[in-house]
C-alpha cells in the first residue's frame, strides 16, 4: 500500500505499509483516501491510499515505511525480519511499527498489558524503530492510524509560552548572573610538560612511581578511600619532577574515556592538565589543596555559597559542549554511573543516535516498571514517562560529589575523577547528584552540601528523576 501525504508547505510525503503475514490489508482495506484534521493548529493532512503487492515495483520515493507486526505470539513475529528488511530497503529515512490487536489499557488485562508494553519497547530497541501509539484492530477506524502517523511525521506546534515559563526562565538567568558574581576565580597551575620530557618510557615511569618519598601521601589517599570504598587500593601516585624542588605530578590509571573527557573539559574548566599521552599512565597536575569532603564543614557560609556558585558556572559551561550521539568521550560506550551496575562492569553501546539511546533506556525503564507493577498489582505506579528525559545532549561530569571537587590553595575549585563523564542528557547531572545525596551516608554528604544540588545542577522534574532511577534499577537487576 502506498500513502501520499501533502504537507502544509505543499510538499508530498509518501508512505509504504509493509504487511506482516498479509495483515497489511487489515489496516486500510479498499479505502482510497483518509483525512486527518488536527485540532491544535487546524491543519489538514490527507492520505491517498494505493494498494501494495509483493511483486509491485517501487517507482516512487518512499519517505516513511510502516511495519505491521503481530506481537500476540512468537509465531506472529516470524515474518518480522523479512518485513523489516523490506521496509529498510524501501525507506531508509524512517520506519515505524504498527502493532496488531495491542492491549493499550491496564484495566483490560494487566499482566498481558505489562508484557506487551515491554515487548514493544524491546522490539523498538532491537530493530531501531519507534512505534505508533495506536494499534490495528479487526473492527476499527483506520483514521486513528492516520492521526497518529500525522502526529509522528508532522509534530503539532509547541504550546505557546506561558507566564510561568517566562518567569522560570528569568529566575534561572538571574541565578546564573548571581553565581557568576560570586564564583571563585580560576588560577591554573603552571604547565610542566617540558619538565617531563626526561621520562623515556613506561618502565621509567614505573620506577618513578615506586619512589619511597611519596609513600606517606599515597597512604593518606588509601586511608581516605577506605572510608568510602571497601578494599581500596591506591588509585593515584605522586611523582616528583626531576630537577625541581617540591614539585610533583600525579600518575593514575584511568577508566575508558576519562582522559578524553578531561582534555575536553580543560577547554572551559579548571581540571588537572593531562601530560604525556604516550604513556600507559595518565600524568596530570598535582593540585595542592583538600577535597570538599575534607574541608566542607570548615568553610564559612559565604565560602560554601561561593563554591556552589562556582560549580553552577562550571555546569553551565559544560552544557555548551554538545555532540549528536551519547556516550563516553572516547568511542560512545555508556560509562555514566547509571549504567555501571552491581552485576559487573558491562559495556552498553555505542549508540549511533539519541533515538537509539532513548529506545534502549526506555526498554530498561519499562523492565523495572513491569517488575514493580507485577508486585504491587492494582497499586502499581504508572508507566514511566520519557518526556524531557533526552533533551540537550552535552558534556556531563556524572559524579559531582564532595570527594570529586578540590579547593586549591589559591581558592580555585577543581573537578577531578571524570570516570563517569561523557555526553548525556543534561538532566543526568542533577539526577546523579540527587541519587548520590540520597544513597550515601550523611558523613559523606553533609546536609549543608545536599541542599545545593538543585542550585548547582538545576531542578529536575519528578517524572524525569523517576525514569532514570528505573533505568539504574534495571541495570543492577537484569542481564542483557
Domain range summary for the chain, segments of one domain joined by +: 2-153
Q: Which of 297, 317, 9 is nearest to 176 (CA)?
A: 317
Alpha carbons 122 and 106: distance in angstroms, whole number: 19
CA distances from 115 to 104, 112, 118, 140, 247 (A): 11, 5, 5, 23, 62
DSSP code string of 398-411: S---GGGEEE-TTS
Q: What integer pLDDT is reported at residue 425 of this predicted model?
A: 95
Q: How many CB atoms lie within 10 A of CB 423?
A: 23
What whole-number distance in Å separates Cα of residue 438 and Cα of residue 169?
A: 28
Can you read off the three cell numbers belonging to residue 114?
A: 505489562
SS3 96: strand
CA-CA distance, 292 to 294, in Å (whole number)?
5
What is the per-residue pLDDT for 30?
Answer: 40
Which residues, 6+ apart, have CB-to-CB distance to 176 below 8 Å? 312, 313, 316
> Which residues are CB-neighbours of 240 under 8 A, at least 6 positions away?
208, 211, 213, 214, 247, 248
Give exposure, 206-219, as e/b (b: 16+ Cβ within 10 Å). Answer: eebbeeeebeeebe
CATH assignment of 2-153?
3.40.50
Provide the residue-wise pLDDT of the chain in tens; the chain has 480 residues.
334 344 434 334 455 555 444 333 333 444 456 666 766 666 777 665 554 555 444 445 566 777 777 776 666 677 778 777 777 776 666 777 777 666 555 555 677 778 888 888 998 898 888 887 766 554 455 667 777 777 777 777 777 678 888 898 999 999 999 999 999 999 998 898 888 888 888 888 888 887 766 666 666 665 555 455 544 555 678 888 877 777 888 888 877 788 899 999 998 999 999 998 888 888 999 999 989 988 999 999 999 999 999 999 999 999 999 999 999 998 888 988 888 765 455 678 899 899 999 999 999 999 999 888 888 765 567 788 888 889 899 999 999 999 999 999 999 999 998 989 999 999 999 999 999 998 888 888 989 999 999 999 999 889 999 999 999 999 888 765
Q: What angle do CA 75, 89, 354 make, to 5 degrees?
A: 85
Q: Which three cell numbers stand for residue 276?
A: 604525556
70, 21 in Cβ contact below 8 A? yes
pLDDT of residue 269: 94
Distance of alpha carbon 257 from alpha carbon 329, whole angstroms:
5
Please tell me the pTM assigned to this model.
0.86
Distance CA 295, CA 449 (A): 12
Q: What angle do CA 290, 291, 292 make, to 5 degrees?
A: 115
Residue 103 Cα distances to 100, 119, 212, 213, angstroms: 9, 12, 69, 69
- The answer to whether the CB of 369 falls within 8 A of the CB of 251 is no
Nearest to 288 by CA among 335, 232, 249: 249
Task: Measure the CA–CA gap between 197 and 242, rounded to whole angstroms.
Answer: 10
β-pairing, 130-131 with 236-240? Answer: unpaired
Task: Find the helix or strand (DSSP H, E) in which 238 lies.
Answer: strand 236-240
Query: ∠ CA 446-447-452 to the nearest 5 degrees?
Result: 105
Residue 341: per-residue pLDDT: 60
Which residues, including other chains, have CB under 8 Å from residue 113's CB and lie 6 or more apart?
A: 103, 104, 105, 106
Q: Which of 310, 297, 318 is nearest to 187 (CA)?
A: 310
| Cα–Cα distance for residue pair 206/480, rounded to 1 Å | 38
Instruction: Report d(CA 312, CA 442) in Å as an integer.
Output: 22
Amino acid at each position: 500500500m502506498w500513502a501520499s501525504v501533502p504537507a502544509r508547505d505543499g510538499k508530498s510525503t509518501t508512505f509504504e505499509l509493509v504487511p506482516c503475514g498479509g495483515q497489511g490489508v487489515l489496516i486500510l482495506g479498499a479505502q482510497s483516501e483518509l483525512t486527518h484534521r488536527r485540532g491544535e493548529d487546524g491543519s489538514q493532512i490527507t492520505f491517498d491510499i494505493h494498494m501494495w503487492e509483493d511483486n509491485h515495483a517501487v517507482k516512487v520515493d518512499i519517505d516513511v515505511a510502516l511495519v505491521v507486526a503481530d506481537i500476540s505470539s512468537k509465531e506472529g513475529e516470524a515474518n518480522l525480519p523479512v518485513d523489516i528488511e523490506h521496509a529498510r530497503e524501501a525507506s531508509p529515512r524512517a520506519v515505524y511499527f504498527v502493532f496488531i490487536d495491542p492491549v493499550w489499557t491496564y484495566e483490560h488485562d494487566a499482566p498481558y498489558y505489562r508484557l506487551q508494553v515491554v515487548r514493544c519497547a524491546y522490539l523498538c530497541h532491537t530493530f531501531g524503530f519507534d512505534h505508533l501509539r495506536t494499534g490495528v484492530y479487526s473492527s476499527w477506524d483506520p483514521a486513528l492510524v492516520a492521526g497518529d502517523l500525522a502526529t509522528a511525521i508532522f509534530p503539532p506546534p509547541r504550546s505557546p509560552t506561558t507566564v510561568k515559563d517566562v518567569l522560570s526562565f528569568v529566575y534561572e538567568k538571574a541565578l546564573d548572573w548571581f553565581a557568576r558574581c560570586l564564583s571563585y576565580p580560576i588560577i591554573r597551575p603552571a604547565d610542566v610538560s617540558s619538565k617531563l620530557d626526561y621520562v623515556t618510557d613506561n618502565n621509567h615511569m614505573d620506577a618513578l612511581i615506586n619512589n619511597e618519598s611519596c609513600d606517606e601521601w599515597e597512604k593518606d589517599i588509601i586511608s581516605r578511600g577506605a572510608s568510602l570504598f571497601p578494599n581500596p587500593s591506591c588509585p593515584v601516585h605522586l611523582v616528583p619532577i626531576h630537577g625541581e624542588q617540591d614539585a610533583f605530578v600525579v600518575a593514575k590509571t584511568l577508566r575508558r574515556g576519562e582522559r578524553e573527557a578531561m582534555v575536553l573539559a580543560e577547554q572551559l574548566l579548571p581540571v588537572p592538565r593531562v601530560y604525556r599521552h604516550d604513556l600507559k599512565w595518565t600524568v596530570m597536575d598535582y593540585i595542592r589543596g583538600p577535597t570538599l569532603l575534607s574541608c566542607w564543614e570548615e568553610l564559612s557560609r559565604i565560602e560554601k555559597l561561593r563554591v556552589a556558585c562556582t560549580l553552577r558556572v562550571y555546569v553551565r559551561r559544560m552544557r555548551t559542549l554538545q555532540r549528536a550521539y551519547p556516550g563516553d568521550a572516547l568511542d560512545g560506550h555508556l560509562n555514566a554511573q547509571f549504567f555501571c551496575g552491581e552485576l559487573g562492569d558491562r559495556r552498553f553501546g555505542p549508540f549511533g543516535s539519541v533515538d537509539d539511546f532513548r529506545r534502549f533506556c526506555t526498554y530498561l525503564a519499562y523492565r523495572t516498571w513491569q517488575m514493580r507493577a507485577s508486585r504491587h498489582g492494582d497499586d502499581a505506579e504508572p508507566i514511566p514517562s520519557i518526556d524531557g528525559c533526552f533533551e540537550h545532549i552535552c558534556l556531563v561530569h556524572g559524579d559531582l560529589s564532595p570527594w570529586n571537587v578540590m579547593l586549591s590553595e589559591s581558592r580555585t575549585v577543581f573537578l577531578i575523577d571524570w570516570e563517569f563523564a561523557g555526553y548525556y542528557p543534561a538532566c543526568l547531572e542533577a539526577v546523579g547528584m540527587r541519587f548520590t545525596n540520597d544513597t550515601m551516608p550523611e558523613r559523606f554528604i553533609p546536609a549543608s552540601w545536599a541542599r545545593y544540588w538543585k542550585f548547582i545542577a538545576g531542578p529536575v522534574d519528578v517524572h524525569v528523576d523517576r525514569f532514570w532511577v528505573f533505568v539504574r534499577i534495571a541495570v543492577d537487576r537484569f542481564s542483557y
